[in-house]
Amino acid sequence: MKVEVPEYSLAESAPVDPSRTALIVVDMQNDFVRLDGALPIEDAAGTIGAIEQLRNFARRESIPVFYTQDSHYAGDPEFAIWGEHCCVGTDGWEIVQELAPDEALDDRVFRKDRYDGFFGTNLDTTLRQRGIDTLIICGTVANICVLYTAASAAIRWYHVILPVDAVSAITEFDLQLTIRQVGWLFQGTITRSSALCATESVG
């Protein structure tokens, strides 16, 4: 079976108001990013450079950087689906060194035990306390934790920006599915990290 990918355009620029924007880095943990991890995503390591570029942009513009961290304990029901992964306290659970959060810069990490970064966390409260209404979402896995976090953001009326070169997936189909949903269903902005980082901020 062949599936035709619906056309979409990449925004050449995506100006943001730093005071109303946050960067969300989804699940860039050793178990997903490293090839010897419990659930390696082949393309995840290749997105580190783009995510670093986004993080540098965020630092420069005083945009807060938030992380989600997939977090499980022994006997987690999700292990029946995916096997054991991202067990709290293990090396595989840690966020990759290249993107490690910096507490001195007020990076925040939101531990989650399901796909959605909002479910069971205080991410939404934190964003609203800061007056944030726009989220740049990147990380892995595209059609799982990235998509469900983006969906949860969109139904709360956050505007979602998806830099496609900073997102990794198990298959190309999964990546294209994610792009389609964010751009069409959620009316998000589809772009690349380089275009976003080169854009002058507004506000």
What's the whole-model pTM score?
Answer: 0.96
Both tokens assigned to 192: 């690349």
Distance of CA 168 to the CA centre of its chain: 10
pLDDT 10s digits, 63-84: 999 999 999 999 999 999 999 9
Count the domains in the chain.
1
Judge whether 5 lies within some domain.
no
Catalytic residue among 145, 165, 174, 197: 145
Judge whether 2 lies within some domain.
no
CATH code assigned at 100: 3.40.50.850
Question: Which residue range is the domain that position 56 belongs to?
Answer: 18-74+84-197
pLDDT at 35 over 80: yes
Judge whether 185 lies within some domain.
yes
Catalytic, 112? Answer yes
Rounded Cα gap, residues 53 and 69, in angstroms:
20
* 203 pLDDT tier (thresholds 50, 70, 90): low
Catalytic residue among 86, 87, 112, 116: 112
The pLDDT of 21-43, averaged and rounded, is 98
Three-class SS state of 147 = helix
* 153 pLDDT tier (thresholds 50, 70, 90): very high
Catalytic residue among 27, 43, 70, 165: 27
Three-class SS state of 121 = coil
* Average pLDDT of the residues of the chain: 96
180 and 9 Cβ atoms separated by less than 8 Å: no
202 and 13 Cβ atoms separated by less than 8 Å: no
Can you give the pLDDT at residue 198? 80
Both tokens assigned to 135: 């989220």
pLDDT 10s digits, 158-189: 999 999 999 999 999 999 999 999 999 999 99
